[in-house]
Structure 1
Amino acid sequence: MMRKAMWVLAAGFALAMAACGGGGQKNALMAAQNAYGSAMRWGEFESAWARVDPEYRDKHPLSELDLERYKQVQISSYRELDATVLADGSPARMIEIGVINKHTQAERTVRYREEWRWDAEKKTWWVRQGLPDLWTGG
């Protein structure tokens, strides 16, 4: 009886470990999206920028003026509305962001689509298109 219980326990442990290891890319995506979303929620735009695809960052550098504009807003909400898979197999999410102008205290809502790219070499996910445009809506 004890031997059977140990076998069941060992099998359950092996199954749990396989479930954790088998979804490596999926778990990495969830971790990257959570980190990016958290940075956005707390207004840590430089941290969010670090999650943007390096190729995009090289082609579209974030200027000091851009950074100053982001510092003029506060994020009141950041939520996923929908998750889809693009034609090339990449994940995408429709996001709704509550944005408050720190000077006027006026709040508005911005929607935009996050697209993610897997970097097999670095084993990480990147946001493809940069930070959301919080001034023209996407």
Structure 2
Amino acid sequence: MRRILIPLVTVSLLALGGCATDQRKDALTTTLNAYASTVRWGDFNAALQFVDPKVRDAHPIPPLEMARYQQYKVSGYDDGNGPVPNGQFEVHQTVQINLINVNTQHERSVTDHQTWHYDETSKHWYLESGLPDISQQ
């Protein structure tokens, strides 16, 4: 009986580990798609909710800076090749965001280097790099 039990437990643990990986991957895909959609609609207040709460608390965005996001409409969001894993619980993604200044109608592009981290406790992916820097020239 013991000969059968040990391999059975080992296979079960490996299968559960695979399930956790699949759940993380599915959660990442869902989170990145939701974030992209939110930014495409130009809703930076909602996009701020994707930022890790610890990062938001440590580096709050002043109201004037949040108001600056309202000066732009997003005309493009290109995530290129998608996320690149950096270990089990972190991915990096480089995104090109096209912005149109609503006052001047001038369009420009900014590069957003995103770092996403998986929180095992909440089973949620959080953006650690913060909102895109729209002050880039």
Fold shared, TM-score > 0.5 on shorter chain: yes
1:90 corresponding residue in structure 2 = 90
AA in 2 matched with 1:71:
Q
1:96 Cα deviation (Å)?
0.5
AA in 2 matched with 1:25:
R
TM-score with structure 2 setting the length: 0.80
2:6 corresponding residue in structure 1 = none
User: How many residues in Structure 1 have an aligned counterpart in Structure 2?
Assistant: 118
- Change beyond 3 A, Cα 1:89–1:28: closer
Distance between the aligned counterparts of 1:117 and 1:89, measured in 2?
6
Q: Is the 8 A contact 2:89 2:118 kept in 1?
A: no
1:132 Cα deviation (Å)?
0.6
Structure 2, unaligned runs of 5 or more: 1-14
Matches within 5 A, 1:71-86: 71-82=70-81, 83-86=83-86
Structure 1, unaligned runs of 5 or more: 1-17
2:114 corresponding residue in structure 1 = 114
Identity %: 36
Distance between the aligned counterparts of 1:124 and 1:37, measured in 2?
16
TM-score with structure 1 setting the length: 0.79
SS at match of 1:62: coil
Moved over 6 A (4+): none
1:68 corresponding residue in structure 2 = 67
